[in-house]
Amino acid sequence: MKRVSSNVPDLDIRWLSDSGERGLIARPATNNGKFLEQWILNPGVAGGKLTADNTEEQADLVAVSGHGGGGYVYGNALGAKDDNRILLGAHLARHVSDPSTGRLKYLLVPSCSNLSEQWADQWLPILKKEKPVHGVLGYSATYPGDTQGAELMRNFCSALKADPARLLLDVWAEINEKSNPPVAWGAAQRVDARNDNLRDWVTKGLDVHSDSDNVVWHYDHNSFPTGKKLLPSGHADAYEIHFVMDDGTVLQEGNNSVEDADASRGLFPGQRGVVRIRAKHPEDRFSPRDKFTVMFYFFRPLKHEMDLDALLIFDEGLFHSGGAPFARKLIDANELKRPGKTGKVDALEVTSCLGQEVRLPFTVAPGAKNAFPRDPNGPNTHGLYTLGLYPPGARVGGEAQLIWVPKNGAWLK
């Protein structure tokens, strides 16, 4: 049975019942995103309407599931031509000062990569706000979805009901690691919420210490049960990296999203452009002979399809010894991709010159669209190409020192 919220009439809301399991599910369209990004932190219902105002009827837990990465959750479950998407992470942070009852305690985000170590700091604002969310549970790499995904969610609920005193985080780790095959889970949780459990949640409610220092820890299948203290990205405050089109347009969030896939911004075969790496502050400017590494990804680091030679032709002068800057191609520099080595170029090691920015000029390869065929299930493009940066002095290959801002990616059109 389909239900309609009178203030969001095109939001598909249905009551589902299958094999004795029941639930309310909403399948948003892209134009619902702005409302839902506000509603999620104060998820209420009043008078037949979804409302982000303080109201008596509210959810304790919200789950947002689909494809994922970079704070986005997206998909085309409604049969739309292009993916419908919600940007969580950064957009939820816009609403941390909005009035809230604090009823929402946990956000469940079954989607790829949104709880990986490199992206986990995007959840800090909602975990540190007044009346905070206690934790965000999700995946550090691929979320399988479909039958295995349904089984994981079912096992999570069953294990909590079987022993309500067990700690929520422990159960989340266990059901994913015991799955066949095991699934690379991730979580961000306040340190003073580590003992949260279902028994307390339904009997006396969950609370955190108002006088705590708001410490948040990140956990995944590698770091559990110790975890790692979650801090804002440090290097990301010092450097930025973008594709810049030949007319000077800097590709970034707001002008190169999937909704702009048919517009004139992006990567076009035969078109000129540059990769621009810029130090944000004078004290971080590049020194002569500084070395840093620029990574190129097909959508995200975990994917293995990147072939830089097939995508971009960099100016030959970059590769002349003694030049400034001087670049060297790297094969399989991305240690995060699965399933491992491909024998293809995926990075440039750059020796810089003195200055605030470094520019790497290129031409989009004439045959790029043949090398990266159009995704028949996605937008009318040939993939999203994102940039990563290991700044001077960083260890290349892992997650800890990687600057990766997927919203600055470019679509091949």
In the listed set 203, 229, 255, which residue is the last one of a domain according to the structure? Answer: 229
Summarize the confidence of residues 329-333 as an average pLDDT: 95
As a three-state string, the secondary structure of 27-79 is ECCHHHHHHHHHHCCCCEEECCEEECCCCCCECCEEECCCEEECCEEEECCCC
Do 101 and 135 reside in the same domain of the chain?
Answer: yes
DSSP 3-state helix, strand, coil percentages of the chain (rounded to 5)? 20, 30, 50
Do 243 and 336 reside in the same domain of the chain?
Answer: yes
Do 118 and 156 reside in the same domain of the chain?
Answer: yes
pLDDT in tens, 264-280: 888 999 999 999 999 88
Nearest to 319, CA basis, from 354, 350, 275, 353: 350
Bridge partners, 359 (sequence order) = 276
Checking if the pLDDT of 150 tops 60, the result is yes
Do 68 and 212 reside in the same domain of the chain?
Answer: yes
pLDDT of residue 194: 94
Q: What does the alpha-carbon distance between residue 110 and residue 107 come to, in Å, rounded to a whole number?
A: 10
Do 64 and 180 reside in the same domain of the chain?
Answer: yes
The band of 379, judged by pLDDT with boundaries at 50, 70 and 90, is low
Q: What does the alpha-carbon distance between residue 67 and residue 79 come to, in Å, rounded to a whole number?
A: 15
In the listed set 229, 249, 278, which residue is the last one of a domain according to the structure? Answer: 229
Supply the range of the domain harboring residue 49. 2-229
The band of 374, judged by pLDDT with boundaries at 50, 70 and 90, is confident
> ω into residue 9 within 30 of 0, thus cis?
no
Least confident range from 94-103, 167-176, 324-333, 368-377: namely 368-377
Residue 237: both structure tokens together: 């405050």
Do 211 and 336 reside in the same domain of the chain?
Answer: no
Do 239 and 176 reside in the same domain of the chain?
Answer: no
CATH number at residue 244: 2.60.40
Q: How many domains does the chain divide into?
A: 2
- Summary mean pLDDT of the chain: 85
Checking if the pLDDT of 7 tops 80, the result is no
Do 37 and 141 reside in the same domain of the chain?
Answer: yes
Do 225 and 242 reside in the same domain of the chain?
Answer: no
pLDDT of residue 16: 64
**The model's pTM:** 0.63
pLDDT of residue 236: 55
pLDDT in tens, 200-210: 999 999 988 75
In the listed set 195, 229, 263, which residue is the last one of a domain according to the structure? Answer: 229
**What residue type is 73 in one-letter code?**
V
Do 298 and 191 reside in the same domain of the chain?
Answer: no
Q: Which residue has the tokens 């970034």?
A: 252
More confident: 180 or 259: 180
